[in-house]
Amino acid sequence: MTLLSKAAFSATPLALLAVCLAGCGTGSIPILVSPVTYSGAAFAGRVVAGGTPMIGSSVQLYAAGTAGAGSAPVQLLSSALTTDSNGAFSVAAGYSCPLASSIVFVVASGGHAGTGGATNAGIVLMTVPGACNGIASGASYVIDEATTVASAYGLAQFLKPGAQLGATSTNSSGISLAAATVANLANLTTGLAPGAAFPSTGVAPTSKINSLANAMHACIVSTGSTSAACSGLYGAVTPSGTAPTNTLDAMLKLATHPGTNVTTIYNLSATSSAYTPALVASPDDWVMYANYAGGGMNAPTALALDSQGRIWVAGYCTSPCLFNSSGVASLFSNTGTPVLPNGVTGNSLFELYGGAVDANDNFWATDEETSYSINGGDGGITVLNPQGAVVSGSPYASGGIYYPYAVAVDSTNVSWIVDYGNSHVTLLSNSGASLSGSSGYSGDINGSPTLDFPVAIALDANRNGWLANFSSDTVTKISANGTSATAYVCCDAPDGLAIDGSGNVWVANYFGDSVSLLSASGAVLSTGFKGGGIVHPQGIAIDGVGNVWVASYRGPSITELAGTSSSSAPGTVLSPAAGWAPDAALLEAYALAIDASGNVWVTSFGSSQLTEYVGLAAPVKTPLLGPVRIP
């Protein structure tokens, strides 16, 4: 064993002295030799393959690293445990976690399935009990193929080959939410999909998880890591480069390259029936997604994420959607459970199209009309606190608000309201006071020829507002102090906007079936990138590495495009020709957002569903206050 280098020493959690099992190169696991801060509880476990005990497997316990995604975890047991003839092992109390909130995970390697199985060095299985202080004394866990699939997908943005799991110290919430996603996909006590607390109002990807578990199982019970079942799996999940040599790395490779050799992998999965129900035909790809409903959600439009990763959804109307029914605001946990059983209605909520979360985790909903008449109402802004109660003083209606359609909050907690009815923009303080003409703001660009029925807004790092003018094929930039407004001809019915970390503006062109790109100064860099399943795009967002994600109102899938910092040319389609997961069958997809775990969330207006694509994008900081930020 060798001591960590000075650089590696400074990168370890709490700068603790450690040694490495096999040097300090890629894939090494440090062993903690200095005291840490939280003593973990005792728990038991079983390692199984399709219910068959894994005998002689080596079991080790780790805490996720804090030096970045895939950084070296902290080994919590001085020596590995070995499973008995029942696949069982026991972890004694007193192992030391770096923090009470450290994410603890268990890795089982090698062994053989049952007494007659062949020893297989390619077997690596994983589960994630969660935060160290959340492990109950006497808890019991099953580690198997299904928990391994769930771990690889749920933690895809934090896991690297060799069971290297970690996050930056600034994104502890992201990896915690990812661990919760693992438990949502698979029951950690039984080892079966879905999770014990998966919401009854949702539809889990159980068949897809089971099919991948079956593909793993065929390898595990084969003659060894070089068998046709194993080598076939390792090769099939690898689009290029070096193939993995164990089952966990194979599932991670697939989670991060879900369009690879889809039918080949399905055929491998069909050779086993250890996990049911499984897919009965090859899927479009191996993207893992779940659909959620409930919480009063109906005809959902905008969505926005708070600092806890919870999802606020604006609903155009309650169910049934009658001529003059109220709008509804729904709130979901990051695992799709409705936080407010029936959502929030009344309080002037009516025909909600827009919504945003501010720095205090309050939800700002645009009430296009406060009351219905033949000529329509003026509309307003209803603000809900994190518990769903109406904030005192709202709904707000000052500053010339008229048919408000969209809203965005900047880094100073000022809300920009897009008024569709009079081609106008209103700026409100966090208390709802109009900032037009005060505090250096002049938000009332009423009647300006630079605004023409705007429907969307995004804010840049200088707090300039960029608005999509659906009726004039232009995007307008309004300075933060409201003293200037410039329109740029760029687009074809612009219907959505997103700004990347370099200030570039990406525009969803509804009628153009494309995405335009403008520089931070307004130079038109492209009038439209096409392909990848883009059909009447509307929802658009940027992820933590600058890639662009698009939801099409008239398409069943989502599209990924290369950003300006990608190794591919900006606008290059990174998703399949039909987009990612067309089998999710989005119906009138309206809005798209990305959370701190890298999950992509999309609302479907036509089916009243909220869809989560697990671990598909690079994480971003929430709430979104201006351009995308890396957590």
Which of the four pLDDT bands, split at 50, 70 and 90, describes residue 4? very low
**Measured distance CA(526)–CA(517) in Å, rounded:** 5
User: H/E/C letters for each residue in 530-549?
Assistant: CCCCCCCEEEEEECCCCCEE
* Band of pLDDT at residue 162, cut at 50, 70 and 90: very high
Determine the pLDDT at residue 321.
86
What pairs with residue 98 in β-bridges? none
pLDDT band with cut points at 50, 70 and 90 for residue 482: confident
pTM: 0.92
Q: Which pLDDT does position 436 carry in this prediction? A: 61
Find the mean pLDDT for residues 563-567. Answer: 94
Q: What is residue 371's predicted lDDT score, i.e. its pLDDT?
A: 58
Q: How confident is the model at residue 625 (pLDDT cuts 50, 70, 90)?
A: very high
How confident is residue 446, by pLDDT bands cut at 50, 70 and 90?
Answer: very low
CB atoms within 10 A of CB 423: 23
Q: Work out the percent of the chain whose per-residue pLDDT is above 90.
A: 83
How far apart (Å, rounded) are the C-alpha atoms in residues 333 and 612?
A: 12
Domain boundaries, the chain: 2-156+163-185, 398-489
Q: 2-156+163-185 has which fold? A: Immunoglobulin-like (2.60.40)
pLDDT at residue 439, rounded to an integer: 31
Q: Is 176 helix (H, G, I), strand (E, B) or coil?
A: helix
Structure tokens at 52: 């068959």
Instruction: Report pLDDT digits (tens) over 195-211.
Output: 999 999 999 999 999 99
Which phi and psi (to 5°) does residue 265 adopt?
-65, -40
User: Which tens digit of pLDDT belongs to each residue from 372-409?
Assistant: 544 455 889 999 999 999 999 999 988 888 899 999 99
> What mean pLDDT is predicted for residues 154-166?
98
CB atoms within 10 A of CB 115: 9
Which range among 253-257, 367-371, 597-601 shows the weakest confidence by mean pLDDT?
367-371
Cα 63 to chain centroid, rounded: 22
Q: Convert the pLDDT of each residue in 169-227 to its tens digit.
A: 999 999 999 999 999 999 999 999 999 999 999 999 999 999 999 999 999 999 998 99
Q: pLDDT tens digit string along 327-367?
A: 999 999 999 999 999 999 988 899 999 999 999 999 999 99
Instruction: Report, as an integer, the average pLDDT of 253-282.
Output: 97
Each residue's pLDDT tens digit, 98-127: 999 999 999 999 999 999 899 999 999 999
Least confident among 73-77, 225-229, 312-316: 225-229
**Predicted local distance difference test score (pLDDT) of residue 257:** 97
Pick the CATH number of 398-489 from 1.10.645.10, 3.40.605.10, 2.40.10.500, 3.40.50.1100: 2.40.10.500
Percent of the chain beyond pLDDT 70? Answer: 91
pLDDT of residue 324: 72
Higher-confidence position of 41 and 326:
41
- Residue 182's H or E segment, with its range, is helix 172-185
Residue 249 host element (H or E): helix 247-256
Instruction: Give tens-digit pLDDT for 270-301.
Output: 999 999 999 999 999 999 999 999 999 999 99
Taken in order 530, 533, 536, 540, the sign of the CA dihedral is: negative
The pLDDT score that the predictor gives to residue 377 is 57
Please count the other Cβ atoms lying within 10 Å of the Cβ belonging to residue 577: 9
For residue 374, give the 3-state DSSP assignment: coil
* Cis amide leading into 194 (omega within 30): yes
